[in-house]
Amino acid sequence: MKLNTVDYYDSLEVSDLKHHQLSYKKLIIPASLITAGAISFAVPQMKEIDRDVRGEVNEHNLSNSKLDNYTQYVPAAMVYALNLAGMKGKHNFKERTIIFATSQALTAAIVLPSKKLIGEERPDKSNNMSFPSGHAAVAFSTAHFLFREYKDTNYWLGISGYSFAVFTSVYRVINNKHWVTDVFAGAGVGILSTELAYWLYPKINSLFNISKGKSASMISPFYQKFDKTNMMGLNYQLSF
pLDDT tens sequence across 11-67: 455 446 566 777 788 899 999 999 999 999 999 999 999 999 999 988 887 777 899
Q: What pLDDT sits at residue 8?
A: 44
Please give the DSSP secondary-structure letter assigned to residue 91. S
Is the pLDDT at 155 greater than 60? The verdict is: yes
Whole-angstrom distance, CA of residue 67 vs CA of residue 205? 35
Q: Are 218 and 234 in contact (CB under 8 A)?
A: no
Pick the CATH number of 26-214 from 1.20.144, 3.30.70, 1.10.10, 3.10.450: 1.20.144
**146 within 8 A of 161, measured Cβ to Cβ:** yes
What pTM did the predictor assign? 0.81
Residue 18, pLDDT score: 61
Pairing of strands 229-239, 216-226: antiparallel
Q: What is the pLDDT of residues 101-137, one digit of tens each?
A: 999 999 999 999 999 999 999 999 999 999 999 999 9
